[in-house]
Every structure is written in structure tokens, then in C-alpha cells.
């Protein structure tokens, strides 16, 4: 379980920080909520964990709890449960979710081996988002029993109860599906993390957010700072909680606009693009910057939006990535050396203002622009690129 840990007087305020809490149990089997194969479906999946023993499972029960913004249209057994054939399946649709009870066998000598579940699809829910729903579209395994069928989540094996590990809270509606967090390479040679919403995003007042920045490859982080939009998020000033911590594998970033007051940011504001966080890259980078929901930073944080004391997972599809591999001559940083780079180089040398990336030539990207690897930036660099492309000239030298 990952939480944003806090001490002292901040602790109470930070209880606002609702993270996706993963259930605890005897953990031989993991339950997950995942995006289904078809649009607007949620699948319940089981996987055996590596240490599982081969007890026989006679059945299971669980509840899937759903926020108000999600409306269930249809619910039925998943592919593996349907194929199990002999199972007695009871599914109860309730106002707050769906309760499920499955009996595979009454005899403890029969059943499915506990270590035999691998991406077992148990249940599929088809849903729609209630128009304008904000954070209500969250789906998760219930922490308390719902209806008459389901324990919070339980497997029975040989008369004993197994408490599975529950994970995968699912943001089905609200900003989770409509707002991306993406790293972009800026013209100054830095990486900026932008929050970007679709134009039809539901209007959600967000109290804050957190995410990880996972770094792979040869990327060294220099100075870090809050982004241009976040530093004025609280009535023109900095948010109350505005933290970034660097560890070996990446950066943990978290923001709470207003710990005790009403200041929030609407998702509609994110449609224009919101610069949340900026960091410099040192040296000549080659690697991937990936927004992530993993154990990076100290303390690590989950990738969530916060709204009215709830936390909604951002969802893997909304976490962007950017590969950044500088190469000599690739003056527009798109990973290829072609005529556009020669034109861009000329624009930087002679254009009125030139390309936006010209600023980078003055701010640490000079080796990229110095295509012929001499000690000057001039028209010869552009010609060198053109000769390479059109006249079988030698390629720009490696940067290292």
C-alpha cells in the first residue's frame, strides 16, 4: 500500500489525501478491476500470486462498489467464469454496486486449484457515465459487505476462508478518463509536466493531485520547480502543499491547493494546458520520462486526483511518457534527422526569432545544433545536415 505519509499537524489535513487503498488479506489470489475488452466495460480479474499453494477453491464472493456517476447497463459472468460451466453464480445489482457469489463445488475435494488463476475473467460490467459526473465514476472492491451475497471479498477452500488481495480501483468516469498528465520537452531544454483535459471534460473542482515521474535510461535531473500555472493556483500564490522529492528512480510530486479552505482548480481550466512541474535535465540525455503510479520518490505517492476528500486514480491510459534521446543534428528533437532539422537550424541562425527550439541552442542544447561537430554554430551545420540527407555525406557524429 502506498500512501502519502505525513507527520504532526499536517496529518489531519492530509487525511484529505485519499489514495487508492489496496485491501489486505492472506493474499494468495489478487483481485483486480481492469478496463474490459470493449468500450465502457469493467472486468473483474483474478490472478494467483507466486507463492500460492494448491488448495482447492470451492467458491468466492465479493462486492464491486460503484460511485454515483456510473450507471450499470449490464452485468454478467466473464469469459472464464462462463466457461467454468458447473458454477452456480448469483449476481445482485444494488444501488451502490454489484454483489457476486459463485459456488463451484460443495465438496472440499473438488474445485479449482488456488494457484490456477491467471488473468481469470470473472465478471464483466457494461456501464455509462452519468453526464457531467465528476468523481462519482469510481469503481472499487467494497471494503464492507454489500447486499446479502457478498463478503467484502473472500474465497472458500476446504472450509476455510481466504482473503484475497484487492487492487485496481478504477476511475471509469470523471476526470480520470479525460485528463492526461504528460511530460513535454520545452524549448529551454527542460521537461515540463503538463495537465491537459479534453474539451468535454466534466467540470470537477480538484483540490490537488499527485503522481510519480519515473525516469529510465541516462537522465540526470537538475533543478526542479513548481510549474508556471501551479505557482499561482491559490488565488495568485503557491498552493499550501507543493512538494517534489527526488529519489534514485524518479520524482514524487504532490499538490494540495488549499488544505483548509475552498480554493480549487476546475478541470475546465486544464483544457488550455496547465504547467504543474518543471525540471532540468543535465548532460546529454537519452532515456524515457514516464508519468507513473509506482514506488518512486520518498515518500512515494499514488497517481490520483483529489476532489471532496476522495481520491480518483488517474488510470494508466492518462499517464503520458516522452522519450528524450538527443542526437547531433536533430534540432527539432523529434528523434529523426531530416530536412526539417536543416531548415530549423537556418531559422535559428537567420530567422526573425526562428523556431521555438532556438532558445535551447543557447541553453544547453548547443551540441545538438552543432551538426558538423566543430566549435561554431553557423550555416555550415545546416549544409552538413543537407549533405548527409541528400548527398550521402557522413552522418552527424555521436554526441558522446
Report, in Å, the least distance between residue 366 CB and Ca ion: 9
Report, in Å, the least distance between residue 326 CB and Ca ion: 11
Burial of 326 (0-12, 13-18, 19+ CB in 10 A): buried
Q: Which is nearer to Ca ion, 67 or 329 (CB)?
A: 329
Report, in Å, the least distance between residue 333 CB and Ca ion: 7
Could you give the CA distance from residue 181 to residue 291 in angstroms, rounded to a whole number? 7
Q: How far is CA 217 from the centre of its chain?
A: 19
Report, in Å, the least distance between residue 329 CB and Ca ion: 8
Report, in Å, the least distance between residue 338 CB and Ca ion: 6
Q: Which is nearer to Ca ion, 58 or 372 (CB)?
A: 372
Residue with cell 541562425: 349
Q: Which is nearer to Ca ion, 271 or 397 (CB)?
A: 397
Q: Which of 208, 47, 207, 33 is nearest to 137 (CA)?
A: 33
Q: Which is nearer to Ca ion, 296 or 324 (CB)?
A: 324
**Are 25 and 153 contacting, i.e. CB atoms less than 8 angstroms apart?**
yes
**Are 59 and 114 contacting, i.e. CB atoms less than 8 angstroms apart?**
no
Backbone φ and ψ for 67, nearest 5 degrees, come out as -70, 170
Q: How far is CA 120 from the centre of its chain?
A: 24
Report, in Å, the least distance between residue 331 CB and Ca ion: 6
**Are 88 and 58 contacting, i.e. CB atoms less than 8 angstroms apart?**
no
Q: Which is nearer to Ca ion, 210 or 372 (CB)?
A: 372
Q: How far is CA 134 from the centre of its chain?
A: 18
Residues that bind Ca ion (CB under 5 A): 330, 332, 334, 336, 341, 370, 372, 374, 376, 381
Q: Which is nearer to Ca ion, 248 or 375 (CB)?
A: 375
Whether the bond into 299 is cis, omega within 30 of 0: yes
Amino acid at each position: 500500500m502506498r500512501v502519502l505519509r505525513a507527520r504532526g499537524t499536517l496529518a489531519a489535513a492530509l487525511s484529505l489525501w485519499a489514495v487508492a487503498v489496496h485491501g489486505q488479506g492472506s493474499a494468495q489470489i489478487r483481485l483486480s478491476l481492469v478496463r474490459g475488452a470493449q468500450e465502457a466495460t469493467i472486468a473483474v480479474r483474478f490472478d494467483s500470486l507466486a507463492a500460492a499453494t494448491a488448495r482447492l477453491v470451492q467458491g468466492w464472493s465479493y462486492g464491486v462498489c460503484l460511485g454515483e456517476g456510473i450507471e450499470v447497463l449490464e452485468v454478467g459472468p466473464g469469459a472464464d467464469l462462463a466457461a467454468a460451466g458447473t458454477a452456480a453464480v448469483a449476481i445482485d445489482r444494488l444501488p451502490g454496486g454489484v454483489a457476486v457469489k459463485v459456488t463451484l463445488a460443495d465438496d472440499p475435494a473438488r474445485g479449482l486449484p488456488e494457484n490456477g488463476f491467471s488473468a481469470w475473467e470473472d465478471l464483466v460490467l457494461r456501464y455509462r457515465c452519468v453526464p457531467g459526473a465528476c468523481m462519482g465514476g469510481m469503481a472499487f472492491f467494497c471494503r464492507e459487505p454489500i447486499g446479502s451475497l457478498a463478503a467484502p471479498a473472500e474465497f472458500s477452500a476446504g472450509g476455510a476462508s481466504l482473503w484475497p488481495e484487492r487492487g485496481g480501483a478504477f476511475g471509469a468516469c470523471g476526470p480520470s478518463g479525460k485528463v492526461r498528465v504528460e511530460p513535454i520537452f520545452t524549448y529551454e531544454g527542460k521537461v515540463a509536466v503538463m495537465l491537459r483535459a479534453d474539451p468535454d471534460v466534466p467540470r470537477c473542482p480538484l483540490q490537488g493531485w499527485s503522481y510519480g515521474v519515473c525516469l529510465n535510461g541516462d537522465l540526470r535531473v537538475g533543478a526542479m520547480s513548481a510549474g508556471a500555472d501551479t505557482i499561482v493556483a491559490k488565488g495568485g500564490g503557491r498552493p499550501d502543499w507543493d512538494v517534489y522529492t527526488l529519489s534514485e528512480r524518479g520524482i514524487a510530486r504532490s499538490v494540495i491547493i488549499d488544505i483548509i479552505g475552498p480554493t480549487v482548480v476546475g478541470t475546465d481550466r486544464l483544457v488550455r494546458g496547465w504547467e504543474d512541474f518543471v525540471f532540468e535535465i543535465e548532460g546529454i540525455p537519452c532515456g524515457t520520462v514516464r508519468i507513473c503510479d509506482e514506488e518512486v520518490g520518498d515518500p512515494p505517492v499514488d497517481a490520483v486526483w483529489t476532489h471532496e476528500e476522495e481520491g480518483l486514480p488517474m488510470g494508466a491510459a492518462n499517464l503520458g511518457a516522452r522519450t528524450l534521446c538527443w542526437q547531433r543534428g536533430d534540432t527539432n528533437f523529434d528523434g529523426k534527422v531530416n530536412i526539417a532539422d536543416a531548415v530549423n537550424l537556418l531559422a535559428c541562425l537567420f530567422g526573425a526569432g526562428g523556431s521555438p527550439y532556438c532558445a535551447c541552442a543557447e541553453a544547453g542544447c548547443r551540441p545538438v545544433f552543432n551538426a558538423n561537430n566543430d566549435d561554431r554554430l553557423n550555416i555550415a551545420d545546416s549544409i552538413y545536415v543537407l549533405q548527409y540527407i541528400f548527398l550521402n555525406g557522413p552522418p552527424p557524429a555521436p554526441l558522446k
